[in-house]
Structure 1
Amino acid sequence: MNEAFLRYEKGSEVFDISFRYVDETMNVDRQFNFSRQITESVNNFLKRVDTNVCKIINRKVERKRKKNAALDTSALPNDNVDTGKIMLLKDDIKVDGNVLCKNLLQDSAKLKLVIFEKMFLVKQNAPYIINMLLPSSMLVGFPTYPSKFESLYTDKKQSIFNWYKNDAINNKSNVWTHVGSGFLYEPNVSDIGCNLKISCEPRNESDSGCNMEVESKNVVEAGPGPCPFDIRHQFTKHKLLGRSFRIMSYNILADTYADSDFSKDVLYPYCPQYALDMDYRKQLILKEIIGFNSDIICLQEVDRSVYEHDLLPSLYMLNYDGVFITKNEINEGLATFFNQERFEKLRFEYSVIAKNIDFPRFTTIWSKINNNKTKERFCSRNTTIQVTTLRSKENQSEILIIGNTHLYFKPDADHIRLLQGYYTITYVHEIAKKIQEENPECNVSVLLCGDFNSVPECGIYQLMTKNYVPETCEDWRSNTDEAIENVSLTQDLCMSSACGTPQYTNYTPEFSGCLDYIFYEKDKFEVEQIIPMPSKEELTLHTGLPSVVFPSDHISLCADLKLKE
């Protein structure tokens, strides 16, 4: 039996209904969607259905009449409601046309819609796809997926996705060849020059909905070939188990910064413009992330749209969950993902540092700063710290506190960064202490990832790894007008850098150096493996980063850690 899909939430003033009407004789295959007021009568609703369906049929009839004058169209009535050709049935009994639609919405079981003797079983709040689109850029060897997927009552993991290709140049018969299944598809060389089509039958645990198909507007193109991260992936072919886990940190270069005239003409003039486009870069970013098989992923400079339409949907299908915050009003921010098979999220919290300077541990230091210019500059920043608390599913007594941040970037702001770094480590530590108090039987351990915009010679690295920054530290005087006097810092966590201090985690013609870190409690973890960094030859092959094979101006960090017994 055909199906019509009714969508209605209690309390709403409208309902939606969709169905696919197929008449092979008249060569009609059309999806119809209606949005109606619940207070209208059944007759009014059916008249609207009648008008829309007959409009399509009449067009077909008129075209056939012109081609074949002998065609008999008398069998098609002009008023189908009156002649009983379009009706609603309840328990196989015709519904009174004067009944209001809202009365039927209270109980839509055993409701059927009849259109020209075709019977449609009405299914209320079945899985339904609102919108699905394919991306404008599809590259051989890189994951392709719906660039937009909006649905109701749908579990994507339960849904059925199939991929097809059609040679846009040579295949004029519109024949589609099945090439893959699943939400993610990786085009191969034979797909070059072909359009792709995806079909989805939306499902949830108990029901299925109307299938939707979408074709790509563009064809599959050749990719850049092997990327430096493909070599690094040789060290991360397998997922970890037990007390070992893999963690990565990566500033992925927000589109809001890459897609500007300044970036294209001044910062990255050596990089082809197509390779700066996020539609291109996000395919490389996602392949790089997936290939590391990490359990915890901390990302910086994540555009909201990239998180919502690319990273979260794709990684969710690979059993990750994620959290995201923007840096105050700016439309990019921080994202942390974790492997749901190995961790459950206990808590998530964040702090916009400049908005919370009354944080108890920080306010003591803040009160010692007498330079108002420094305070004004500090408070004008939208730097944020996000903290995700995870419990190991394999070792229930182990809880991880995952901090993720991106500190201020200006070259003359070492003093600002140092204060931000102090806030960050103490904020994470306070959360860890609170979690420990709530779970005294558990071992609570801290990890802090991010782009700290600070080289190892600066105070932040000393604060994290040596626990102390003296008042004589040069960072306090990185800007003469904003110099900080008589302030020293201490913190109590015994931290170390999981990847050490690579020569480069950021490489551009303007600057190259180590700015990114994965800090861990060295008395709680041991490092089992550091994923090798790209060589300088790889970094300079295309002058600098980003490039056609490096999607960001930063290099991802990745390490395998093991919880000590």
Structure 2
Amino acid sequence: MAAAGRASSKMLRAFVRNSEGESDITISFCFNGKRHHLHRPKAQPLSQTLQRISLTIAKSLQGPRIKNKKERMSSADSPRPPPPLVSLLKDDAETVPEDVLNVNAWTSDSLFIIGDQRYHVIVNNPRIIKLQVSDLVFEGSPLVPQVSLEFASINYCKWSWLRIDKSASVQVGSQDLEMATMDSTYTPSSMKLAQLVHEGVIYWPTRADIDHHLLLQCTPFRSAEEAGNPVYYHTSRVRPQFSMKAIRRRQEHTPTPLSSSSQLRVISYNILSEKYLGKDPENPHPFYFYCNSFVMQSSYRYSLFIVEILGYNFDIACLQEVDEGYFNLSLLPIMKEVGYDGAYSRKTGQVAEGEAIIFRSSKFDLVQSSVIPLIPYLQSSTSCKDLYKSIQEAQPVLSNLMRKSSVLQVVILKAKDDNRYIIVANTHLSSGPEESFIRLMQTITCSKIISDTVTEFERSLSPDAKVSVIFCGDLNSCPCTGGYQYLTEGFVSKSHVDWTSYQYEAIPSCGCKPSSDYRSALDEELLRKMRDELLENYEEEEQEKDDQRDDPIPPPLQSSNTFNGLDVRNDIPLLDACGPLEYTHYRGVFVSVLDYVLVSREHFEIQKVIPMPSHEEVTENFALPSESFPSDHLPLICDLKWK
């Protein structure tokens, strides 16, 4: 067995960390019941390092420092133990020359000796730096450990999940990771009262686990044979499944995946990023004053989201406000476990959230994935040249437009069973309450990108290939806006109010907003105060985003004229697959249709739209998110069929 595997012998072990790119090595060992960690320069001769170790051991043998002066003077006359003899042998026999530098002296075939104690040297032992599991555990919601490794590969790690008897005393969390690295004999006492329930990285708690703690054991491996010490993590008790009657009613319409290769089920869902909830669940963002702290915890919302979305048996899901860490560490591993794959696109600037497209691996192959920042495309592409030149007259809003971080995520999928391709586009446009002009420009830019992508991609295909379009996202635009009309009707007139909305101090009234019947029954004065506070918070957040941007903002061309609009045509008019709807976003003080699934008219027919939750279900806990819904948006779900 390799050197790391030798760690199972009864001889003591000394661990040497010799990481490439660092100037020091770390030597760790236990002596006389005490752990020692010494950082020494790689370029230092071995003799100096051994001398330092000897002095360190001698000092530790003297006992604790005496604070009383008389006692300290008395102890000075007592004989002190001499520093122990410290040496390093190669192949258990040959002494390593003391002029050899540390970087070369400490190897996995060497023997480290302190007095009469002998240690096998383990260099760069596979180890776990961090192991964590969700602090809330629910029946039916998958557990994905968050693990950080050193000198190990996630592909070789071994995972075991055990159910602990209810009588066992358990402390939630992981053991001392430093101790785990050095002590191969440690096992938690709960192991004696635990039953193995699963082997593998992801575990889906069952009904039998309810009210039990779970024990996760992870053993790091560098290769199939080179193993480090296992690390253990105790979860909190497993809770019963969520209260999700409204979601279950929607899932009744999607009990199984669509079996036909000519059909596909599509979802668009803004899942609500953690970035916008406030830093403290006990003191959430003013937008969500009505949410209790339990609902605001990411471990609750994300667990509910996974159970919800998988129950829809979708083929393609376009998600917005997806935190980058959540996608990489949890969402994508879970989706791959159940037969999906996906791609992620982060917004520009320093905001660590963006869009994600998930697709069923048995139905589609990924051909291409890209992320296109909207503003650079508007400025530089040939298809947007005339548009960008024309809007230079809109000076009051142009600088603000240049600062926006929105992107268009574009994924090209090929159907496995025939010569059909889908260009799936996904975006989240600006949300400012006075940014109709900006959203219109962003929408037109998205459409230009889609049209250019279709044209360019079709050139590489055979004549019999068919290319269709699905455009999803949170457009932050209701159906009366210029952007929506441009996408669905193929044209926006220069007289549309969105072109000149930046000139108004007040927002023009929207004719398609939900009626007062859909407003929460709040005191009007309270509503006004809340709206004022939300607008103030929005302005502060936008300024903070601008301050964090790390890319230069090109100045707009100077003009003294006033911009009064532009007639713009859309090359690929789309069909609103799920509309009309009463609302897709319900935050109590703001209710509107913001989310869409838009598809190319000539390629798709709409077979079924999954009914939205009732208004009574949405408002059961005042507004969204809530105990029953993980986001302040509702997912749009529809079944399509290729023509």
With the shorter chain as reference, the TM-score category is 0.7 to 0.9
Does residue 569 of structure 2 align to residue 490 of structure 1?
yes
Does residue 84 of structure 2 align to residue 79 of structure 1?
yes
Conservation of the 8 A alpha-carbon contact between 1:303 and 1:333: yes
Does residue 161 of structure 2 align to residue 139 of structure 1?
no
Structure 2 partner of 1:66: none
Conservation of the 8 A alpha-carbon contact between 1:233 and 1:291: yes
Q: Distance in 2 between matches of 1:155 and 1:102?
A: 24
* Distance change >3 Å, CA 467–CA 355, structure 1 → 2: closer
Structure 2 partner of 1:459: 482
Shift of 1:373: 1.5
Structure 2 partner of 1:174: 189
Conservation of the 8 A alpha-carbon contact between 1:325 and 1:334: yes
Structure 1 partner of 2:591: 512
Per the alignment, in what secondary structure is the counterpart of residue 418 of structure 1?
Answer: helix
Moved more, 371-380 or 7-16: 7-16
Shift of 1:80: 6.2
Conservation of the 8 A alpha-carbon contact between 2:257 and 2:314: no
- Structure 1 residue corresponding to 2:42, chosen from 38, 45, 57: 38
Does residue 255 of structure 2 align to residue 251 of structure 1?
no
Conservation of the 8 A alpha-carbon contact between 1:240 and 1:246: no
- Structure 1 residue corresponding to 2:357, chosen from 319, 324, 336: 336
* Distance change >3 Å, CA 435–CA 182, structure 1 → 2: same
Q: Where do residues 192-203 of structure 1 align in structure 2 (5 Å cutoff)?
A: 192-203=210-221
- Structure 2 residue corresponding to 1:381, chosen from 404, 408, 413: 404
Shift of 1:492: 1.0
Per the alignment, in what secondary structure is the counterpart of residue 331 of structure 2?
Answer: helix
- Structure 2 residue corresponding to 1:232, chosen from 228, 250, 262: 250
Q: Where do residues 275-424 of structure 1 align in structure 2 (5 Å cutoff)?
A: 275-318=295-338, 320-339=341-360, 342-353=364-375, 356-369=378-391, 370-392=393-415, 394-395=416-417, 397-424=419-446
Q: Where do residues 442-481 of structure 1 align in structure 2 (5 Å cutoff)?
A: 443-481=466-504
Structure 2 partner of 1:213: 231
Shift of 1:463: 1.6
Structure 2 partner of 1:426: 448
Conservation of the 8 A alpha-carbon contact between 1:505 and 1:515: yes
* Distance change >3 Å, CA 317–CA 513, structure 1 → 2: same
Conservation of the 8 A alpha-carbon contact between 1:495 and 1:520: yes
Shift of 1:426: 0.7
Q: Distance in 2 between matches of 1:8 and 1:391?
A: 46
Per the alignment, in what secondary structure is the counterpart of residue 504 of structure 2?
Answer: helix
* Distance change >3 Å, CA 395–CA 264, structure 1 → 2: same
Shift of 1:161: 1.6
**Deviation sequence 1:154-211 (CA, Å, 0-9, x none):** 5545532212344677548932313433323333455455443311123477455324
Per the alignment, in what secondary structure is the counterpart of residue 471 of structure 2?
Answer: strand
Shift of 1:90: 4.3
Per the alignment, in what secondary structure is the counterpart of residue 468 of structure 2?
Answer: strand
**Deviation sequence 1:299-354 (CA, Å, 0-9, x none):** 21223343344334444544534323134233332233345564235342321427
- Structure 1 residue corresponding to 2:7, chosen from 2, 18, 29: 2
* Distance change >3 Å, CA 256–CA 46, structure 1 → 2: same
* Distance change >3 Å, CA 39–CA 443, structure 1 → 2: farther
- Structure 2 residue corresponding to 1:499, chosen from 568, 578, 591: 578
Structure 1 partner of 2:104: 103
Structure 1 partner of 2:128: 129
Structure 2 partner of 1:272: 292
Conservation of the 8 A alpha-carbon contact between 1:397 and 1:443: yes
Conservation of the 8 A alpha-carbon contact between 2:378 and 2:384: no
Structure 1 partner of 2:629: 550
Amino acid corresponding to residue 229 of structure 1 in structure 2: I
* Distance change >3 Å, CA 330–CA 143, structure 1 → 2: same
Conservation of the 8 A alpha-carbon contact between 2:166 and 2:212: yes
Shift of 1:560: 3.9
Amino acid corresponding to residue 596 of structure 2 in structure 1: Y
Q: Distance in 1 between matches of 2:35 and 2:332?
A: 30
Shift of 1:103: 3.4
- Structure 2 residue corresponding to 1:163, chosen from 161, 173, 176: 161
Does residue 205 of structure 2 align to residue 184 of structure 1?
no
Q: Distance in 2 between matches of 1:338 and 1:51?
A: 61
Shift of 1:419: 1.6
Shift of 1:522: 2.8
Structure 2 partner of 1:521: 600
* Distance change >3 Å, CA 15–CA 502, structure 1 → 2: farther
Shift of 1:112: 5.3
* Distance change >3 Å, CA 532–CA 55, structure 1 → 2: farther
Q: Distance in 1 between matches of 2:296 and 2:190?
A: 35
Structure 1 or 2, whichever has the larger Rg, is: 2
Shift of 1:356: 4.6
Amino acid corresponding to residue 103 of structure 2 in structure 1: K
Shift of 1:114: 6.3
Q: Distance in 2 between matches of 1:199 and 1:269?
A: 39
Conservation of the 8 A alpha-carbon contact between 1:446 and 1:521: yes
Per the alignment, in what secondary structure is the counterpart of residue 175 of structure 1?
Answer: helix
Unpaired runs of 5+ in structure 2?
A: 1-5, 64-81, 171-187, 506-561
Per the alignment, in what secondary structure is the counterpart of residue 380 of structure 2?
Answer: coil
Moved more, 212-221 or 273-282: 212-221
Unpaired runs of 5+ in structure 1?
A: 60-76
Q: How many equivalent residue pairs?
A: 532
Q: Distance in 2 between matches of 1:384 and 1:523?
A: 26
Shift of 1:40: 3.9
Amino acid corresponding to residue 135 of structure 1 in structure 2: S
TM-score scaled to structure 2, two decimals?
A: 0.70
Amino acid corresponding to residue 625 of structure 2 in structure 1: P
Shift of 1:418: 1.6
Conservation of the 8 A alpha-carbon contact between 2:218 and 2:230: yes
Per the alignment, in what secondary structure is the counterpart of residue 473 of structure 2?
Answer: strand
Q: Distance in 1 between matches of 2:40 and 2:243?
A: 51
Per the alignment, in what secondary structure is the counterpart of residue 368 of structure 1?
Answer: helix
Q: Distance in 2 between matches of 1:10 and 1:520?
A: 51
Amino acid corresponding to residue 101 of structure 2 in structure 1: L
Conservation of the 8 A alpha-carbon contact between 1:259 and 1:276: no
* Distance change >3 Å, CA 528–CA 184, structure 1 → 2: farther
